[in-house]
């Protein structure tokens, strides 16, 4: 099989450019930036809005968001299959306005039942859209530029989240219904802005791979594989989902550990988040270098898993010693943790694409994204039952989980095709 002939879409920018020179990738970067700024605005204020403006209890909000997260797990596959049928771009043009309507709907919620229904709808749309966007990128960009392009998009996403979170600080300071609703409106506008940018993509994602799709069909006249019956892909998805528990470590386990289990000041919660975000923005593209096929991707995940394990052990050490030593250990742990995150992310992108049947990217990306969504749902519980409840021993257990998942993933891809898979429309 051969890759798409569009070889110019590489995530490179000259020293005088802030955006890539390729018009397609530049449009994708702008879409990611607008979307992530909106996400930053909403995520920063949503819990306070639900509790202080709608009047829900913190327990009700947590329960509703958990139910919504479960709904999101099951949204990826059907949305991906639909994208394979109607086209990723066409589906996203419909989903974007629906996401805008869903976030605006929170302003009219006045009961727990309505909150749960709307949260489930919004989360299902968001998770499904993530899978469809991943399939769109797989179809629109050439194989050789995929990983670096996704790394650039992830860097931009983190930068956008920082900008959005900073803007939402004004609403937090005002702590008023009007301020919170303004953030909802701006988030809705961001979804509409992304839709407008998507409509102007310079290349039709369904047309770029048509010829290659015919070649893939000729190679396998039985038709495309089914992701839910692809045992290797399901195993890789599950093992990479284990590595995705690192997000819960960073967002749930570490803040609670800093406050409850160490002598470090509470301000270290913000410090480690800043370290993580800045490192992702600056080094995600660099961390993707060398990740070019299934074998190198598995190795990157294995190295990243060891770093995640090392980060957990350093976090455990923060329990001992004075406040300054605990703070130093936490910063070192955050550095090691983030390096692991960078490598497992780069490896995961390649595995999710190169192990997929190129004629069913929507369904395959739906499965992979559902694995990540499941990790994000159960992650807080796993981290709480280990590191938060059992201290240093729990951190060691988490380290062992990460350390075992990496080599297991390497073994799971053994025998797979070493070259990059074909991206088709």
Tell whether 170 and 298 lie within a shared domain: no
Separation of alpha carbons 369 and 63, rounded Å: 22
Q: Are the beta carbons of 293 and 279 closer than 8 angstroms?
A: no
- Mark which of 208, 237, 258 sits at the end of a domain: 208
User: Is residue 418 in a domain?
Assistant: no
User: Is residue 425 in a domain?
Assistant: no
The domain that holds 403 is classified in CATH as 1.20.1250.20
- Mark which of 208, 233, 248 sits at the end of a domain: 208
Separation of alpha carbons 205 and 69, rounded Å: 29
User: Is residue 215 in a domain?
Assistant: no
User: Is residue 420 in a domain?
Assistant: no
Tell whether 234 and 375 lie within a shared domain: yes
Tell whether 243 and 192 lie within a shared domain: no
Tell whether 310 and 404 lie within a shared domain: yes
Helices (H) and strands (E) in the chain, counts: 16, 0
Separation of alpha carbons 29 and 33, rounded Å: 6
Number of neighbouring beta carbons within 10 Å of residue 385: 12
Separation of alpha carbons 107 and 185, rounded Å: 9
Helix (H) or strand (E) holding 414: none
CB-count exposure of residue 19 (10 Å: 0-12, 13-18, 19+) = middle
Tell whether 177 and 237 lie within a shared domain: no
- Mark which of 208, 236, 251 sits at the end of a domain: 208
Q: Are the beta carbons of 262 and 280 closer than 8 angstroms?
A: no
Helix (H) or strand (E) holding 19: none
pTM of the model: 0.83
Tell whether 240 and 173 lie within a shared domain: no
Alpha helices in 49-145 (DSSP H): 58-73, 76-86, 88-105, 112-140
User: Is residue 155 in a domain?
Assistant: yes
User: Is residue 12 in a domain?
Assistant: no
Tell whether 200 and 226 lie within a shared domain: no
pLDDT of residue 396: 97
User: Is residue 281 in a domain?
Assistant: yes
Tell whether 202 and 226 lie within a shared domain: no
Which residues touch 120 (CB under 8 Å, ≥6 apart)? 67, 68, 71
Exposure letters 259-291 (e unless 16+ CB within 10 A, then b):
eebbebeeebbebbbebbbebbbeebbebbeeb
Separation of alpha carbons 96 and 116, rounded Å: 21
Tell whether 61 and 94 lie within a shared domain: yes
Domain that holds residue 56: 23-208
User: Is residue 5 in a domain?
Assistant: no
Which residues touch 193 (CB under 8 Å, ≥6 apart)? 34
Tell whether 112 and 233 lie within a shared domain: no
Tell whether 230 and 297 lie within a shared domain: yes
Per-residue pLDDT 10s for the chain (425 aa) are: 333 333 334 444 443 455 677 788 889 999 999 999 999 999 888 988 998 888 889 889 989 999 999 999 999 999 999 999 999 999 999 999 999 999 999 999 989 999 999 999 999 999 999 999 988 988 888 777 778 888 898 899 989 998 998 888 888 888 889 999 999 999 999 999 999 999 988 755 444 443 344 344 445 555 677 888 899 999 999 999 999 999 999 989 999 999 899 999 988 988 898 899 899 989 998 888 888 889 999 999 999 999 999 999 999 999 988 999 999 999 999 999 999 999 999 999 889 988 988 888 899 999 999 999 999 999 999 999 999 999 999 999 999 999 999 999 999 998 765 444 433 33
Name which of 267, 54, 323, 270 is nearest 180 in CA terms.
Answer: 54
CB-count exposure of residue 2 (10 Å: 0-12, 13-18, 19+) = exposed
Q: Are the beta carbons of 76 and 128 closer than 8 angstroms?
A: yes
The structural domain count of the chain equals 2
Tell whether 226 and 275 lie within a shared domain: yes
Q: Are the beta carbons of 31 and 130 closer than 8 angstroms?
A: no
């Amino acid at each position: 099989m051969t890759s798409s002939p569009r070889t110019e879409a590489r995530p490179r920018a000259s020293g005088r450019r802030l955006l890539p020179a390729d018009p397609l990738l530049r449009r994708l970067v702008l879409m990611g930036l607008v979307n992530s700024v909106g996400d930053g605005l909403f995520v920063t204020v949503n819990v306070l809005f639900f509790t202080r403006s709608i009047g829900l209890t913190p327990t009700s909000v947590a329960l509703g968001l958990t139910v919504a997260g479960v709904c999101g797990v099951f949204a990826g596959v059907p949305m991906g299959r639909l994208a394979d049928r109607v086209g990723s771009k066409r589906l996203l043009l419909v989903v974007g306005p629906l996401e805008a309507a869903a976030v605006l709907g929170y302003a009219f919620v006045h009961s727990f039942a309505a909150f749960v229904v709307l949260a489930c709808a919004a989360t299902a749309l968001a998770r499904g859209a993530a899978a469809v966007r991943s399939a769109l990128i797989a179809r629109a960009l050439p194989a050789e530029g995929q990983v670096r392009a996704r790394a650039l998009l992830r860097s931009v996403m983190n930068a956008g989240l920082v900008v959005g979170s900073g803007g939402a600080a004004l609403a937090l300071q005002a702590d008023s219904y009007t301020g919170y609703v303004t953030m909802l409106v701006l988030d809705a506008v961001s979804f509409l802005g992304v839709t407008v940018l998507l409509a102007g993509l310079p290349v039709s994602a369904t047309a770029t791979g048509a010829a290659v799709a015919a070649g893939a069909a000729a190679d396998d006249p039985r038709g495309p594989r089914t992701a839910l019956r692809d045992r290797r892909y399901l195993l890789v998805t599950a093992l990479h989902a284990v590595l995705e528990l690192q997000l819960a470590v960073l967002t749930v386990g570490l803040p609670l550990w800093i406050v409850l289990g160490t002598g470090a000041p509470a301000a270290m919660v913000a410090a480690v988040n800043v370290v993580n975000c800045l490192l992702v923005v600056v080094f995600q593209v660099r961390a993707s270098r060398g990740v070019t096929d299934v074998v190198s991707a598995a190795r990157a995940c294995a190295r990243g898993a060891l770093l995640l394990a090392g980060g957990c052990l350093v976090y455990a050490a923060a329990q001992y010693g004075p406040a300054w030593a605990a703070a130093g250990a936490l910063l070192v742990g955050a550095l090691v943790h983030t390096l692991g995150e960078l490598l497992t992310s780069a490896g995961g992108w390649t595995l999710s694409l190169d192990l997929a049947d190129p004629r069913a990217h929507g369904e395959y990306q739906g499965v992979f994204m559902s694995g990540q969504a499941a990790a994000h749902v159960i992650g807080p519980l796993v981290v709480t039952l280990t590191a938060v409840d059992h201290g240093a021993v729990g951190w060691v257990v988490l380290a062992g989980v990460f350390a075992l998942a990496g080599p297991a993933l390497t073994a799971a891809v053994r025998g797979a095709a070493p070259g990059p898979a074909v991206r088709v429309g």
